Structure 1
Amino acid sequence: MTALVPEPGSGARRLAEIVDAVAGRRREIARLQAAEAALLSEAMDVALEQMGPPSRDLDAPYDVPVRSAAAQIAVAVRVSDRTVQAWMDAAHTLCDLFPATHAALGEGRIERSHAQVIAEAGVNILDAAARVEFEGAVLPVAERESANRLRPIARLLAQRIHPVPLADRHRAAAARRGVWLREGVDGMGELGFSGPMVQVTAIKSRLDLLAREVIDARHGRSGGDPGDALEGLNEPCSRDTRSMGEVRFDVAADLLLTGHATPQDSEDSLPRGDAIRARVQITVPVLTLLGTSTEPAELAGHGPIDLDTARDLAGHAPGWDRVLTHPVTGCVLAVDRYRPTAEQRRLLAVRDEHCRFPGCRQPAHRCDIDHTIPAGHDGPTEICNLAHLCRRHHTLKHHSAWKGRQHPTGVLEWTSPSGHTVPDIPARTLVFTAVDPPPF
């Protein structure tokens, strides 16, 4: 019996039109992205031409012109200058080292994600002829496969074509190992690290082993098949109902914060204030601490955190700062504390919260306190002439044409080498509601 195929209706025809239109738009976007890459690469070329011979000033980094160019573009498009410099680096790599890939992107034959995969896989091929061979082999695959499917193929092709032995490349790659932090939502965050695969795999395996031991202890087992522990994850439990992923994270947090893994037998197993010794700045309204308000607390530079965590950390803090702010503008006016300390530093840390260069969020405790008007030019050491700048932007201020002027309210007005001005307004991060009598 032959099945009847229905004639395509208006809905099917319209969907086909949409598919063609989306594909066309994607090709247009790819062409624009290729054009943007060419501009960013040109900006990098212009900056590199301005670098000239090495400076005699040992404090001036060699890439100040590149940083300055990135900062000017960043201010214009309202993103971090570090992000723009990364864009410039990537664009320069694409246009200079992978011209055939850049051309394919400009013709809409591949997406930017394909170009990124190709550049990442082949960037370490330093021999120009080998790089051309790599592009010739990988581009036909990129034109017919998704970026995710392309990635392992591109790595394999680069591995086969690369003239340098893998062992030598691994030693060079291991020197770039590191750790990074990425903000999340709802008070969450991600901590990641990159290193040799053998070590990373061993770390993951140890976390799995410790987490399974916790699961076994929960269900009254000792040893046995690890699969048994996993099978019991969804069983009802009177006390500990954490999933394997939750236990794995809790074990990792214990190891990093306390140096040992504690197989706690409670849902409330996250390391609390007694285990946390990192340097943090928490905004907690005083009425929230007293339990008469639900106004949220805030982790400086990151956003809201739950009130229980804020109260717990406040209870373990060696001291509190009381911050007095202007009732209308919110400008920080003064900071006092029972224990004597460097009041100016505390006030600046509260006022600034992070680096005061536009778009930068480097935490204040990692920054330098800079005189807006240099002390060598009779700049006073007063709050209205001081601001936190990370080392990158502190250096940029003193070794490029970027200029900063601070207003009495703490607003820093930056002027770029091209004459554009942009204000950086200090964040009001700690607000204590006035109460009578004060609770201090």
Structure 2
Amino acid sequence: MKKTAIILLLILTLIPFKVNAASNKNSNKNQDILQHINFDDIEEEILKRNPTVKMNENTLASLRANLDMLEDNAEDAEDALDGFDNNPDIKRQLEAEIQRLEQEKAELATTLVSYPELLPVLESQYNTLIGIYRSNLLNLEASLGSSKNALKSQSKMLDEKVEDMEDTIDKFIQQSKMTSMQLSWAAENLYITYNTLDMQEAELSNNLKLLEKQIEIAKIRESLGLASKVDVLNAEISLRELQISQKALKTQKEAIKGELNLLFGQAFDEDLLIGAVPVLDERELLNIDYDADLSTALNNNFSLKLQVLERKSKDTALERAEKDSSLSEEAAEFDYENEEIKLGDLRKQTALAFYKIFEELLSKKQTYALENAKYELAETMKEQVELKYRLGMLSDIGRETELNNYFSKMIKKYISGYELTLSYRKYEWMKRGLTL
């Protein structure tokens, strides 16, 4: 009985622990899912979560590991090459042996003074032996020269591979930075588009409610003989059209939410809550200095930086061609000149793209000011509508119609504000280096 009680106590002790562990596991899982996104957090979340960004980080690490390996191989080849100049032991031994044999042969006349008949025989043997050593020395020198040339060629090739890998890494760094910014810009664009569709859906929903009331009134008027059946049918068809448009807007919103989810590295059907578009501080627009911003945009532009690196690669190829007769120096010069032309043309195209976005920003600013003025006028008219309604000068449906017009003006103001923010963000992204 005592043993059973102990077992039960252990079970009761472990149960809460298992529940808590499972709870913590689910909690950690939920923390990995982005459930709410605000506009100002988009870039940070893209850099933290986007699969392409993560893959680029891994690719860069792989390239750097390959560079380390190439640098080690190049260093080993250089050490081996130095060894040929600093370690001539075999050659020195052969030369010493030849010198010793020559010395002994020269001493034969003195040594064999009592045996003159042996002198020619021994001299011949010494000459043969010396000849063998000289032949070995010549073969060794030829072999060492061939090996040294092979090592020189290998060392040169490895040095060039190191240089090429450094160029590849420099290009990839710029490319991956550009990609990260492009993904952040794409997410911002989708975020603002989602909010725009949200506003359009709100306007459509308001129009639907008004049309439903108008249909009710049309049916009453028809029953009283004040309206025809055609009027009712036309209104009902308009209602169905609005309902179809409303469904299409909802589908578009869900598609955009799915794309945002994928950009943040999660399943397309996650229930992501998308925040509001922040109000653009108009002082930001007043502080714009086009000439200074153009200079910044050109200095930061990733496409231009990549083209500069491409020109550098062609310059390296030209330097190699000047030192290597197996490469065409003339062809390398033409290749370099083409990259120089591309760079100049790309700079002009980038300046034009920035100018277009600047003009678009000014246009959106004017449109927003106009829509805001219309909204302010609608607000004044709304007060008059309410006054007329209170005085009995306006029917319920008349009031609803006028308020719907007011609501539409408000929606247009918000949407034009979103479009202004979008243009401003394009302008800012170009300043940071993108080409849009």
Q: Which has the larger radius of gyration?
A: 2
Q: TM-score w.r.t. structure 1 length?
A: 0.20
Q: Which structure: greater strand fraction?
A: 1
TM-score when scaled to structure 2? 0.20
RCO comparison, higher one (Cα < 8 Å, 6+) = 2
